Amino acid sequence: MANLQKRADGKWRARYRDSGGRQHAKHFARKVDAQRWLDEVTASVVTGQYVDPKAGRLAFREYAEQWRAAQVHRPTSAAHVETMLRRHTYPTLGDRPLSSILPSEVQAWVKRLSTGDGDRPPLAPSTVSVVHGIVSSVFKAAVRDRRIMANPCEGTKLPKTERRQVVPPTTEQVDAVREAMPDRLRALVTFTAGTGMRQGEVLGLTVDRLDMLRREVRVDRQLLTLTGQPPRLGPPKTKASVRTIPLPQVVVDELAAHLARFPVGPDGLVFTLDGEPITRSVFGHVWRPAARAAGLDVGTGMHSLRHYYASLLIRFGESVKTVQVRLGHATAAETLDTYSHLWPDSDDRTRDAIDSVLGDRARARGDSVGTGDA
C-alpha cells in the first residue's frame, strides 16, 4: 500500500509498506520527485526486488563474519579467507555499513592494496585479485540476502597479473639443496623430487600409505598446520588430489634407508623433526637457507621440487593427462597453463605435416618446391 500526501509546510510525503508490513516514508520538495520514488519502490516490491533501506546498515565486518561462518570451506581455505579479510579488508571497510560502500571506494581500496599504504607494503597483483574476489563474494551474498541492491565490486579494475613461466631447478640444484638440508630431511628432498607431491602431502605422509613392494604411495590426506591449532591430518586440496603415485627405485631405496635410520613415531609420520610433526613455518626456517645455498627461488618454496618432477615427466614423453594425474591437478588445462612451455617445440612437426600434403600436390603440378625461388 502506498500514498502521497502534501504536508502543511508544502513538502510532499511519500509512504509505503514493504512486503513485511513495515511502513516507510520519505519527504520531497516536489510532487513529481515523490511520485517517481514511490513508483520505483512500488515496482520493486511487486517484482520481488525490494531492498529494505535499513537492511544495509549492518557493518561489513559483522556481515562478512556471518558469511564466513556459513561457508563450506576446507580448514586451510577457511584460515586463508579469515586472514585476507582481517589483514587487508577490515582495516578499510570493516566498520562501514554495507549500503554505504561505493564502487569508487572499492576501486580506491584496490589501488591502495596494489601500491602500498603507509607502513603496509604493496601486495602482489595475484594477492590483490584474491582479496577482491573474497570481498566480492561477501557482497554477492548481501545482494542475495536483500541487504543491498548491487555489488559494488562489479566493474573494479584490478592490477594485471603477469604469469611467470615456471623455471624448474636443475638436477644439480636438487642435489645441492638435498646436501644442505639436515640429515633427517635429506630423504624428504629426494622423495618430493621423485613424486611431485605437495608440501602438505609430504609432511603428512604416514608409513601406512607406502607400499614398498609395489613401489607406490597413496595420497589421500595432508598435514594441516593452522594458526593456534596443533598439526593434524586432514583431506587433500581437492578430489583430484587423491591419487596413487609410482615410486622410482631411487626413492624406494632412500626411503628404506631413512626409515631404518629414523624410525617413525606413534603417529606414523615418515618425516619429523625432534619426533614432532613439521609445521609449515618450522619447515620454512629449514628450507630457505638450503634453497639459497642451492641457488633456488626462495619464494617458490618446496614447490620447486614439484616443478622439477613435472619437468622430468614432460622431458621423457609423458602425456598431459599423465602429468595431470600424477600432480593431482583438477584439469588438464591447469597442467597446460603451468607447464605448456616445457613440452617439446612442435614447429618442425607442423612444417613437415603441411609440406607432406601441400608439397606433394605442388610437385605433382610441377611447381618449384624447396628450391628457394620466390
Gyration radius from the chain CA atoms: 30
DSSP symbols for 54-106: TGGGSBHHHHHHHHHHH----HHHHHHHHHHHHHHTHHHHTTSBGGG--HHHH
Mean pLDDT is lowest, of 35-44, 76-85, 348-357, for 348-357
Average pLDDT over residues 226-241: 87
**Three-class SS string for 43-57?**
HHHHHCCCCCCCHHH
Buried b (16+ CB within 10 A) or exposed e, 259-274: eeebebeeeebbbbee
Q: What is the DSSP letter of 246?
A: E
The pLDDT assigned to 49 comes to 65
The pLDDT assigned to 371 comes to 46
Given a cut of 50, whether residue 372 has pLDDT beyond it is no
pTM: 0.72
> Between 355 and 104, whose confidence is greater?
104
The pLDDT assigned to 297 comes to 87
Per-residue pLDDT band at 75 (split at 50, 70, 90): confident
Query: In angstroms, rounded to a whole number, what is the distance separating the alpha carbons of residues 246 and 329?
Result: 16
> Between 48 and 127, whose confidence is greater?
127
The cell numbers describing 345, all together, are: 617445440
Query: In angstroms, rounded to a whole number, what is the distance separating the alpha carbons of residues 280 and 202?
Result: 11
Given a cut of 70, whether residue 274 has pLDDT beyond it is yes
196-224 pLDDT, tens digit per residue, is: 999 999 999 999 999 999 999 999 999 99
Query: In angstroms, rounded to a whole number, what is the distance separating the alpha carbons of residues 157 and 278?
Result: 40
The pLDDT assigned to 45 comes to 66
Average pLDDT over residues 84-98: 95
